Amino acid sequence: MTAPPPTPEPAPESAPESAPKSAPKSAQPAARPRRTGGRVRNADAHTAILDATAELLEEVGYASLTMEGIATRADVAKSTIYRWWKSKGVLAMDAYAHVVAARMPEPDTGSLRGDLVGFVRELYRVGKYPLRVRTLQGLMAEAQLDASFAPLFQEWTGQRRAVVRAMFARAVARGELAATTDIDHAVDVIFGVFWYRLLLGHEHLKPSEAEVHVDRLLDGIRGAEGRG
């Protein structure tokens, strides 16, 4: 008889898989280091300080603004602030110049009327924002009471005047206005209405009146040129 074939040996059992090791608990995220104004973070810290200052200026007013509060809001060391700005007043006006320049247009439409209407409409729109109104009132008041702050405020208002002066200068270069036009007086009229209404509150600043006010100003200028 033929011998039966050998019974195959059972395959060895594979070793049981060990249970997956539990992943280590993730470490708590490290606290974000303060911006110190080092080489990598210079631009970030500078912008953060300006933004924080402008925000706090509108929230609490100039009188209650502090370097400590700015440092906390911007997440920087106070020494970083003093590295760039020597006083609260210098920083406050630098910050407000920064934010106002971003909010306000500097139109160049090719015509003086178009430039002025665009600018005045946005200027009057400030009246729709109570915090901005209060901030500007507070800055103007501070400039009357603090002799060291007044030049800083005047420098900022001078920057805003320069924007409008440039519109008139372009108009003179294009031949829209005579070279003898009293540009400084015209700029005074533009901002005079704004500040008078803003400070006294006897009349609202209405963006819808921008065109009428600009047309009256230009009619007066051209009428004076005709009489001259």
What does the alpha-carbon distance between residue 171 and residue 178 come to, in Å, rounded to a whole number? Answer: 9
Are 112 and 222 within one domain? yes
* Burial 100-119, CB ≥16 within 10 A → b, else e: beeeeeebeeeebbebbbbb
Are 118 and 166 within one domain? yes
Residue 32 lies in a domain: no
The per-residue pLDDT for 42 is 84
Residue 34 lies in a domain: no
* pLDDT tens-digit series, residues 58-99: 999 999 999 999 999 999 999 999 999 999 999 999 999 999
What does the alpha-carbon distance between residue 87 and residue 108 come to, in Å, rounded to a whole number? Answer: 35
Task: State the residue for tokens 């603090």.
Answer: 146
8-24 average pLDDT score? 42
Residue 215 lies in a domain: yes
Residue 63 lies in a domain: yes
- Structural domain including 63 reads 42-86
Are 75 and 142 within one domain? no
* pLDDT tens-digit series, residues 200-227: 999 999 999 999 999 999 999 998 777 6
Q: How many domains does the chain have?
A: 2
What does the alpha-carbon distance between residue 83 and residue 46 come to, in Å, rounded to a whole number? Answer: 10
Are 75 and 150 within one domain? no
* pLDDT tens-digit series, residues 94-141: 999 999 999 998 999 999 999 999 999 999 999 999 999 999 999 999
The per-residue pLDDT for 105 is 85
Q: What is the pTM of this model?
A: 0.79
Q: Is the pLDDT of residue 159 over 80?
A: yes
Are 168 and 205 within one domain? yes
Are 74 and 180 within one domain? no
The per-residue pLDDT for 224 is 79
